[in-house]
A and B are shown apart, each in its own frame.
Chain A
Amino acid sequence: EAQVTQNPRYLITVTGKKLTVTCSQNMNHEYMSWYRQDPGLGLRQIYYSMNVEVTDKGDVPEGYKVSRKEKRNFPLILESPSPNQTSLYFCASSLLGRLTSSYNSPLHFGNGTRLTVT
């Protein structure tokens, strides 16, 4: 089954304790991205990657790191989590193309990781 898998689904941690949220996709997608969802703000992009070893900042990258060593994996790293990073996080992937025909390629989302930082 084609899917994006995130782990864990729920995570409670304390301020300053490094954590990693894993993301893996089995659709051979070039493009992967992380979003956070907060009430009243919708989903905001944290980081994205257009290919292996190619990553770039999204709209809210502060406090996060990513890596793309393999095509299928795109982990999100919080080196020193703070309470304002309490949120619902989504990993997403899609085919990448620079043609107008790619505008209709939807993002496929993982099931989300609900993170609480105390």
Chain B
Amino acid sequence: AQKITQTQPGMFVQEKEAVTLDCTYDTSDQSYGLFWYKQPSSGEMIFLIYQGSYDEQNATEGRYSLNFQKARKSANLVISASQLGDSAMYFCAMREGLDEYGNKLVFGAGTILRVKS
């Protein structure tokens, strides 16, 4: 079974509007972490935001926020006031089993976001 599911292969958003990228996850662990990374066309992986399973507040980092719904096992990324530079591939990832697997991240298939001017 897929551990991380990103159901939107591609998304379009108008510049200056907000967009939500979906991510659902599957784990039986109580302790885990959820990450979002951005991959621009140049290829590098840029860490955006983190949400811990015990965090009561949704994580925010500038224009990025994470809509964390633990009971539904979803960790959607919200980008506010989209900019042209936000056009990229976005990956959701999960860390679990810290003792057993070290700092392994399991990634979803990614969502390509295109911002239109």
Contacts and interface: CB of A to CB of B under 8 A. Distances in A.
B43 A111 contact: yes
A44 interface: yes
Contact of A42 (B32, B52, B54, B109): B109
B27 interface: no
Contacts, number: 72
Given A103-B33, A109-B44, A98 B103 contact: no
Given A42-B4, A98-B98, A98-B99, A107 B105 contact: yes
Interface in A80-108: 88, 90, 92, 94-100, 102-108
A90 B45 contact: yes
Nearest to A43: B107
Contacts of A102: 98, 103
A50 B102 CA distance: 7
Contact of B104 (A40, A58, A90, A100): A58
Given A42-B4, A104-B50, A112 B103 contact: no
Contacts of B110: 42
Contact of B91 (A43, A50, A58, A106): A43
A31 interface: yes
Contacts of A90: 45
Interface residues of A, number: 33
B88 to A, nearest CB: 14
A42 B98 contact: no
A104 B47 CA distance: 11
Interface of B: 4, 31-33, 35, 37, 43-45, 47, 50, 52-54, 91, 93, 95, 98-99, 101-110
